[in-house]
């Protein structure tokens, strides 16, 4: 009698369990601190490479102030997106709390999802949308993503290319 090889991981159902309010809040705090450190470093590099541009962006009047505002918005959304792209949905806050951003079906977020999440966070008062129960802020809802608790969730294993 020939025994058939069964891959138990392939047959496993995906189950996503959203991260708690507390974990989401820790994610927010840690990521906010990291984001500000990265932005500070980028601005210091700009100061070294183009001091006139740096001074103009730090102006509190006219077009410099508006340009600084737009630069900060674009920087925030872009940095958050790249962090989630490079870490496959896990910012430093998510690494600390053992959580991860995934699509509604449990699959990894795409580059488009990461950028949409990053820029959706810029909507005024968006942070307050995380206060509901369950915690499902607009940047998750609009992009059809979740931040999940990795210990409680079951995700299908990604196979390496060529396997």
Distance between CA 149 and CA 154 in Å, rounded?
Answer: 9
Residue for token pair 């307050």: 128
pLDDT for the residue 163 = 37
* CA dist., res. 147 & res. 102, Å (int): 6
The pLDDT value recorded for residue 111 is 95
* Distant-in-sequence, close-in-space partners of 99: CB < 8 Å, separation ≥ 6: 19, 23, 24, 27, 90, 147, 148, 149, 150
- pLDDT for res 99: 95
Cut 0.85: pTM above it: no
Give the mean pLDDT per block of 10 residues along the chain (163 residues): 50 78 92 91 93 84 79 89 93 94 92 93 88 86 93 69 40
Distance CA 61, CA 1 (A): 83
């Amino acid at each position: 009698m020939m025994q058939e090889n069964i891959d138990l991981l392939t047959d496993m159902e995906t189950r996503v369990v959203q991260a708690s309010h507390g974990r989401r809040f820790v994610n927010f705090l840690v990521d906010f601190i990291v984001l500000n450190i990265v932005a500070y470093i980028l601005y210091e590099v700009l100061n070294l490479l183009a001091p006139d541009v740096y001074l103009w962006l730090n102006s509190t009047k006219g077009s410099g102030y508006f340009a600084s505002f737009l630069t900060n918005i674009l920087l925030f959304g872009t940095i958050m997106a790249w962090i989630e792209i490079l870490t496959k949905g896990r910012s430093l806050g998510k690494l600390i709390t053992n959580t991860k951003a995934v699509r509604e079906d449990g699959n990894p977020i795409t580059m488009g999802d990461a950028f949409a999440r990053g820029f959706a966070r810029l909507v005024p008062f968006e942070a307050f949308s995380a206060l509901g129960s369950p915690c499902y802020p607009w940047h998750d809802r609009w992009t059809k993503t979740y931040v999940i608790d990795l210990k409680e969730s079951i995700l299908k294993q990604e196979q390496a290319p060529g396997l």
